[in-house]
Structure 1
Amino acid sequence: MQEIQQLIEREVKAGKTPSVQYYLFTKDEILEEFRYGLADVEKKTTVTADHSYNAYSVTKTFTALAILQLAERKILNLCDCVVDHLPNFPYGHTVTIRHLLNHTAGVPNPIPLSWIHLSNEHCSFNAAAFFKTIIDKYKKPKAKPGERFAYSNLGYIFLGQIIEKLTGKRYEDYINEFIIDKLSIDSSELGFETTVLSRQARGCHKRFSFTNLILGLFIDKRKYMDKAVGNWKPFKPFYVNGAPYGGLIGKPSAFVKYIQALLKSNCQLLSSQYTKLLFQEYKLNNGKKTGMCISWFKGELNGRTYFAHAGGGGGYYCEIRIYPEHNIGSVVFFNRTGMTDERFLDKVDASYFAEIESSTRADNLVYSL
């Protein structure tokens, strides 16, 4: 696995990230884990397995799983119209919960959207009021339900509201109780509150970059960022405004446990029927495939089908992935800004599969001789 280690270290040595952590695993064991770099560029703290990262949009997979749990318990139906649960939903009476899950509801995705608040503002931050203002401003749907795929953070805010209304619990409390706690993951490993988590890797943005020029369109850099340290601008501690679409923070190893549970035939989070539904690719009204399942993207790496989700924003970027036919999963986390789905796991996972294939060919050759 020397090639994987070199790929990981190269990201730091080339100045692409302060730190990176990578795990490759089966449902029962960790096959490989690598980490390298600095969790805090100012204090020059070496990254360890105890450091946590913002997971951003990977949180959507937890939100979707929570919705499926409620469907399995007959508390809702995926074909329910959203207005049946949220009467003030502004994007039409035929949008279903399934449409929201698959990003085919036509709900807008306002960009730029003020997406964070400082940790010292968290107690006074009113998410409901914040998103009411956003929704009132962007009431017009972008398409008819099921007509086209269009990724929407705002759509997952409504899913969070449905969870709260039907369970009588805060969204964060439901995720903690019915997903995180069921996996025996400690609150210091994964959650929504930075105060109870283990040490957090400090998010950074590359100082001399094009994205640094446009970052001011998204946030007030003077408010949310500290002075530069070399080639990096560190962020001050913050929370994501929308917990259901991007609020989770945790150790990479906690996300390993989460995916390992989904790999198991006797998953303690969902029945096999609903786990299968989670990874069923959705089709538009015209029958065209979207590449989207219930919150998970479907892809292929050298002929191997996988399901994945990336999470990125100011200061952090991550990817999680499942190869169900091979019973393998992988995760990678960076404490630097990521704005798009970079598919970094294509590089490192491909190295693993190539090495396995090479080893298998060698074994077969020896056997034939």
Structure 2
Amino acid sequence: MRKIFLFCSTMVLAFSLNAQKLDQKIDSLILSEFKESDGPGGVFMVAQKGKPVYQKAFGMANLELDAKLNINSVFQIGSMTKQFTAIAILMLEEQGKLKVSDPISKYIPSYPNGNNITIHHLLTHTSGIKDFTKMKTIADIAQKEMTPEEMVNFFKNEPVDFAPGEKFDYNNSGYVVLGYIIELTSGETYEDFIRKNIFDKIGMTNSYYATDRKIIKNRAYGYHKKSYGYVNKTVINFSVPFASGSLMSTLDNMLKWQNALNKNLLLNSKNEMKAFTKYKLNNGKEIEYGYGWHLKSINGTATREHGGSVFGFKSMAVYIPSEDIYVLGFSNCDCNSPTQLVKDIAKLSLENLKVK
């Protein structure tokens, strides 16, 4: 009995020391990039089997008020919004309100070439439609309140970049169209649909459709860095990025999101796997993208990844299904990208937390 006790005590001590070493290694990685304790910073989390094993905040949430970031700070997540848009589309498909194989002309009859562009093309960035963020006239509407229909009209008549299904080219316009289709088929605003059917359902109580007007507790403010110092982020009306990049969240809430996906709380497993399937172009070439996630790998181990970038903020997350490891990082200055950092932390976590 005493031998068993000593063995268990030794195992607990070894695990504790290993976790401490991992913490130190992650700290070292982050501090090599986020060096200014009195400047904008970031928050980071590593979770395994649904629970955090590392979470820390670095730097300031508000430079004017001298307020520090904390692990509950609310960040704009940019294009990580696309995960929610994609799952919402699959939820509507499960409800029988649409099919991903449907042409978008079924919902937006006036859309040019809409008979040949499907919802699937929009989800996989293979539609060929013009990305509105690359249009010079974007500055004309960036601060205007736009309806989803007005946003679609803004880019729909632009020359296409390629025929549907011909190639993969990351595209924000496609997800704006998806948001409009969500509204048309559900009879609700995109904001309300996401809140009622996802945020409220799984307890994401600190997640929002972004707003600069509403009082949001623990809000992290966004910054740009100039040669003379930091400045407040450029103002954008969130109706412009819309379903392609207008959500806000926290580390804890994003872990709830990942856990809900793992437990199939929003979709049955068959339909949910559509989001995590690599699809093919017209020529049979496979792309490393599903619906709302990049599908890549770390040293041969499959990952699901996505980042985000919106004025003043950057985000990145990597999920490793085989080990149930989730790594997440948010930054409140677009001068500090967590993208490679989160990938490096994911690699480090895989090496240290992998189930033997």
Normalised to the residue count of structure 2, the TM-score between the two structures is: 0.85
C-alpha distance in structure 2 between counterparts of 1:56 and 1:347, whole Å: 21
C-alpha distance in structure 1 between counterparts of 2:305 and 2:218, whole Å: 26
Q: How far has the Cα of 1:12 moved from its partner?
A: 2.2
Contact 1:50 1:198 in 2 (8 A): no
2:210 to 147, 169, 192: 192
C-alpha distance in structure 1 between counterparts of 2:80 and 2:341, whole Å: 15
Q: 1:30 to 1:136 in 2, by over 3 A?
A: closer
Contact 2:127 2:163 in 1 (8 A): yes
Amino acid at match of 2:210: F
- Is residue 2:129 matched to residue 1:131? no
Residue 242 (structure 2) aligns with: 243
Segment of structure 1 superposing worse, 319-328 or 13-22: 13-22
C-alpha distance in structure 2 between counterparts of 1:103 and 1:65, whole Å: 15
- Is residue 2:348 matched to residue 1:326? no
Segment of structure 1 superposing worse, 198-207 or 173-182: 198-207
3-state SS of 2:71 partner: coil
C-alpha distance in structure 2 between counterparts of 1:280 and 1:85, whole Å: 25
Residue 283 (structure 1) aligns with: 280
Q: 1:78 to 1:9 in 2, by over 3 A?
A: same
Contact 2:112 2:157 in 1 (8 A): no
Residue 15 (structure 2) aligns with: none
Amino acid at match of 2:146: N
1:103 to 118, 125, 149: 125
C-alpha distance in structure 2 between counterparts of 1:16 and 1:278, whole Å: 40
Contact 1:164 1:171 in 2 (8 A): yes
Amino acid at match of 2:280: K
1:159 to 146, 161, 178: 178
Contact 2:43 2:57 in 1 (8 A): yes
3-state SS of 2:340 partner: coil
- Is residue 2:311 matched to residue 1:314? yes
Segment of structure 1 superposing worse, 35-44 or 74-83: 35-44
- Is residue 2:85 matched to residue 1:85? no
Amino acid at match of 1:254: N
Q: 1:260 to 1:85 in 2, by over 3 A?
A: same
Residue 226 (structure 2) aligns with: 207
Amino acid at match of 2:202: L
Q: 1:87 to 1:167 in 2, by over 3 A?
A: same
Segment of structure 1 superposing worse, 161-170 or 128-137: 128-137
Q: How far has the Cα of 1:127 moved from its partner?
A: 2.7
1:2 to 20, 24, 30: 24
Amino acid at match of 1:182: K
Q: How far has the Cα of 1:333 moved from its partner?
A: 0.2
Contact 1:190 1:251 in 2 (8 A): no
Amino acid at match of 1:202: Y
- Give 5+ residue unaligned stretches, structure 2: 1-22
Residue 43 (structure 1) aligns with: 65
Residue 335 (structure 1) aligns with: 332
C-alpha distance in structure 2 between counterparts of 1:197 and 1:339, whole Å: 23
C-alpha distance in structure 2 between counterparts of 1:323 and 1:32, whole Å: 16
C-alpha distance in structure 1 between counterparts of 2:42 and 2:140, whole Å: 24
Contact 2:288 2:295 in 1 (8 A): yes
Residue 263 (structure 1) aligns with: 262
1:181 to 166, 187, 200: 200
- Is residue 2:69 matched to residue 1:56? no
Segment of structure 1 superposing worse, 167-176 or 196-205: 196-205
Q: How far has the Cα of 1:88 moved from its partner?
A: 1.4
Q: 1:299 to 1:341 in 2, by over 3 A?
A: farther
Deviations 1:204-223 (A, max 9, x none): 11213xxxxxxxxxxxxxxx
- Give 5+ residue unaligned stretches, structure 1: 209-229, 361-369
Equivalent residues, number: 329
Residue 229 (structure 2) aligns with: 231
